[in-house]
């Protein structure tokens, strides 16, 4: 799967903001509002919140996960003009990739392409 095929205007958020101690929760809630779920949304939030893995550096965070909860992959670009704190670093740009478990190979190929963009 190609990165540009997953990006769509509705999956770009240009003014993300959240309370400092609830960044991941707010981000998962935003993702939940954009993804097609195959389970109860509350369960999705509980299960996904602690499973996001990431790459941080130079104002960029790439957060990703494989999930049984999603029906199809989701790639979001989130911009936080004020910046949000994740693991002690301030990020202005966040990329979120959530894929179905069945598409783990495509997920890791997309993740490799996204992390290569950092270089």
- Whole-number pLDDT of residue 2: 64
List the end-to-end C-alpha distance of the chain, in Å, as a whole number: 21
Domain hosting 107: range is: 3-118
> What is the tally of structural domains in the chain?
1
Position with higher pLDDT, 114 vs 15: 15
- Whole-number pLDDT of residue 31: 83
Q: What is the mean pLDDT of residues 80-89?
A: 88
- Whole-number pLDDT of residue 56: 75
The confidence band for 36, taking pLDDT boundaries of 50, 70 and 90, is confident
Q: What is the mean pLDDT of residues 64-73?
A: 82
- Whole-number pLDDT of residue 24: 82
Give the separation between CA 62 and CA 55, rounded to whole angstroms.
5
- Residue 67: Cβ-neighbour burial (10 angstroms; 0-12, 13-18, 19+): buried
CATH code of residue 103 = 3.40.930.10
Please give the DSSP secondary-structure letter assigned to residue 40: -
Is the pTM of the predicted complex or chain greater than 0.85?
Answer: no
- Whole-number pLDDT of residue 14: 93
């Amino acid at each position: 799967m190609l990165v540009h095929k997953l990006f769509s205007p509705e999956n770009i958020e240009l003014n993300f903001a959240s309370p400092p101690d609830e960044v991941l929760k707010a981000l998962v809630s935003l993702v939940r509002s954009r993804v097609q779920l195959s389970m109860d949304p509350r369960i999705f939030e509980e299960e996904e919140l602690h499973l996001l893995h990431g790459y941080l550096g130079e104002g960029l965070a790439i957060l990703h996960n494989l999930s049984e909860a999603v029906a199809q992959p989701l790639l979001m670009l989130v911009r936080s003009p004020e910046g949000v704190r994740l693991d002690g670093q301030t990020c202005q740009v966040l990329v979120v990739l959530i894929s179905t478990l069945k598409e783990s190979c495509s997920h890791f190929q997309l993740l490799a392409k996204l992390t290569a963009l950092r270089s």
